[in-house]
Amino acid sequence: MTDPFVSVVTPVYNDEPYLEECIRSVLSQSHQNFEYIICNNHSTDRSGEIAADYASKDVRIRVVSPPEFSPQAKNFNFALREISGRSKYCKMLLSDDWMYPECLVRMIDVAEANPRIALVGAYRLIGDQPDCFGVPVEQSSFPGTQPCRWQLLGTAYPFGAQSTVMYSAKVVRDRAPSFFPENRFFMDVDIAFRILQDADFGFVHQVLTFSRYQPETVTDTASHFNSWPLLHYLMMEQYGREFLTGQEFEARYGEVTTDMYRGLGEQWLKDAIRFSKKKGFWEFQRKHLGDIGVEIRPTLLAKGVMKAGLSLLGSPSALIKKAHNEVFQRA
């Protein structure tokens, strides 16, 4: 029975309330052949002290820090550059999440069964809600094109988040110094597409991680900016033509474009009712669309405004209420 060496990596910034639970979940793994790198991104709370205390008690734990405070993707990449040259797998775990005790061993078992697997996923909990379901249960190994097609077609979302998956360490090292693209929205989904262009995908049909949804995080901020339709549109623009047939692409591209512009149209109407733009919303859209070389198209935005208006025509009070709620939240 092989016992592969694993690099577990936790980037942390000001997660004092949850960091110990995260660290303990790593130390409690049934697979114990690992190093644990905790990357403290110049936290201003006690996160650094907590990490240092655990490192003083367990030689497998190493605490590192980037030279200065870094944006999320840049910090993640700094942390991943610290993994050992002898590790076979790399498992990220965000500092407000935790793993069930059999997480590493179950993922390793799937990866070891197929040497072409470079990315392993599993079910997870987000609070009390299950996620990543929809993967065919009769198998645990797939050609890389299949999960990419599920994601693009909206039939399953197998990639979860950084805490949900395990990577081949070779894939991580081969893409240094920037494993995660630093100019892409939902960098974890984007890197999954890149990896699976020429590798296989493994999946464990078991809940292996817990993700905590926190207000005012990067993910929470994005959720108020029409992020899910935007993600679908960006992925379709970047990868749809590669993984889908021409007919599939045309049909799905139309759906995701309509959805995204309907969301933009609804926001435009709410801004009009309030006589002010939602802070950061349009900058967020333009930035992430610009990252892949596209812009908001005025004709499609006009259609989106019309569609949003028609859908709310039967209940104009709903739109007014949404607009007022945004004012209240901002205040």
| Residue at 326: amino acid letter | E
Read off the tokens for 279: 């802070």
The partner residues of 141 in beta bridges, in order of sequence, read: 202
1 falls within a domain: no
Q: Are strands 61-64 and 89-92 parallel, antiparallel or unpaired?
A: unpaired
Cβ pair 7, 83 in contact under 8 A: yes
Looking at residue 324, its pLDDT comes to 53
Find the domain containing 159 and state its range.
6-219
Looking at residue 212, its pLDDT comes to 87
249 plus 208 within the same structural domain: no
Looking at residue 328, its pLDDT comes to 46
Query: What pLDDT tens digit does each residue of the chain (331 aa) get?
Result: 469 999 999 999 999 999 999 999 999 999 999 999 999 999 999 999 999 999 999 999 999 999 999 999 999 999 999 999 999 999 999 999 999 999 999 999 999 999 999 999 999 999 999 999 999 999 999 999 999 999 999 999 999 999 999 999 999 999 999 999 999 888 999 999 999 999 999 999 999 999 987 655 555 455 578 899 999 999 999 999 999 999 999 999 999 999 999 999 999 998 998 888 999 999 999 999 999 999 999 999 999 999 988 877 655 555 555 555 555 455 4
C-alpha to C-alpha distance for 42 and 19, rounded to whole angstroms: 14
Final residue in a domain of this structure, among 219, 238, 259: 219
C-alpha to C-alpha distance for 118 and 187, rounded to whole angstroms: 17
Three-class secondary structure of residue 315 per DSSP: coil
129 plus 150 within the same structural domain: yes
CA 80 from centre of chain: 16
- Preceding amide of 147 cis, omega within 30: no
C-alpha to C-alpha distance for 30 and 28, rounded to whole angstroms: 6
Looking at residue 275, its pLDDT comes to 84
326 plus 308 within the same structural domain: yes
199 plus 241 within the same structural domain: no
199 plus 301 within the same structural domain: no
Half-sphere exposure of 142 (CA within 13 A, CB side): 23
238 plus 135 within the same structural domain: no
165 falls within a domain: yes
Final residue in a domain of this structure, among 193, 219, 245: 219
Looking at residue 220, its pLDDT comes to 45
205 plus 263 within the same structural domain: no
pTM of the predicted protein model: 0.89
